[in-house]
A and B are shown apart, each in its own frame.
Chain A
Amino acid sequence: MVRLFIGLCVVGVAAPAAAKPIAFADGTTVMAEYGAGTMQELQIFYAPQFDYSVGGGHVDFTSDVDGHREHINYARLNWLAHRWNLDDAQANVFVWGGAGSAIGNRFDGTRIAGNAGVQVDYETRRVYASMKSDLQRSSVFSDRIDTLQLGVAPYKHDYGGLATWFVFQARHYTGELHSGIETAALLRLFKGGAWIEAGVTDAGKVQAMAMFNF
């Protein structure tokens, strides 16, 4: 109950990005994402247990509306609030929260920034769906990224083999980072502990991500 309360509080405050923030117990996850020129993020997390990880990251936002920028360094706690292990599927609810510092070209000096987010996902070996919301907030900006991903695998991969996914992504930015809904078609490949994903948005921009678990 206390954990649920803490989790809900974390969601209520303020942000990260990418696949799953916790890969496995005693595992380290390194993720880098290039979000079509609007968002770039680097994260590193270590999970002492399967249900939480700690670490930090750096994210850059560049508005394609008015050109404003924010650069944020943060520390973060990720928590697997709930997992459903089904016969041939798995579903998860992750929440996260943390704090850091931000600089930007719309304000002077350094500001304290809070971050929080939530991700709900469901996957089998053939279909994948994920909804994620990340928020970075300070006294002078509030940038949230909402991402929906739907994936289909052309074949069922097994451990040690190459997994291939075709992913449709829809993304909405607040904070005047981007107007409208940005959509992207992505190809996702992973094998062992390495994952790469790349594609193009509806505006013809590159969207890419790499993740390594070890």
Chain B
Amino acid sequence: MKQFQLLLAVTLFTVATSSMAATIEMTVNGLVCAFCAQGIEKKLKKLSATSEVVVSLEHRLVAVSLKDGQDIPDADLRRALTDAGYTVKAIARSETPIADVRERLKQAQP
């Protein structure tokens, strides 16, 4: 019975971890208008690992949520933003769900 409980716990943990969407947050220079955001969103959504994109002009932030088990190398992110016409200043990765990032940005609106 204990072995079954242990197996169940490990299975649930594995499922929970693998389904947790990783998020990449990028600080971007030149983000001043909706057209800028529109172009960046369009570019990033073309990447196969992209699940969702959030853009905040206020925070100069572009956040990308990744599909389960997938990743986008920093070089590809920088290239995508450069090809969209913008400059990436910093890239940070976290396990924060994109919905939480969106909520955090909403709360931080002046």
Contacts and interface: CB of A to CB of B under 8 A. Distances in A.
Contacts of B51: none
Interface in B33-77: 33-40, 42-43, 55-58, 60
B39 A123 contact: no
A108 interface: no
Interface residues of A, number: 33
Interface stretch (A53-61, A155-163, A199-207): A155-163
Interface in A78-110: 80, 83-90
Interface string B8-46: 000000000000000000001110111111111011000
Given A50-B83, A85-B29, A87-B29, A24 B39 contact: yes
Contacts of B30: 83-86, 89-90
Dominant secondary structure at the A interface: loop
A123 to B, nearest CB: 5
A50 B57 contact: no
A23 B29 contact: no
B39 A25 contact: yes
A161 to B, nearest CB: 8
Could you say which interface size class chain B belongs to?
20 to 34
Interface string A59-86: 0000000000000000000001001111
Contacts of A50: 39, 83-85
Nearest to B40: A24
A49 B80 CA distance: 11
A190 to B, nearest CB: 6
A26 B80 CA distance: 13
Contact of A193 (B35, B60, B87, B109): B35
B76 to A, nearest CB: 15
A142 interface: no
Nearest to A84: B30
Interface of A: 20, 23-27, 49-51, 80, 83-90, 123-125, 156-161, 163, 190-193, 213
17 contacts: A24-B40, A25-B39, A25-B42, A50-B84, A83-B85, A85-B86, A85-B87, A89-B32, A90-B30, A90-B32, A125-B33, A156-B57, A158-B109, A160-B34, A163-B34, A190-B34, A193-B35
The 5 closest A-B pairs by CB, nearest first: A24-B39, A85-B30, A50-B85, A159-B37, A85-B87
Given A25-B84, A213-B35, 6 more contacts: A86-B29, A123-B32, A125-B32, A157-B34, A158-B58, A159-B57
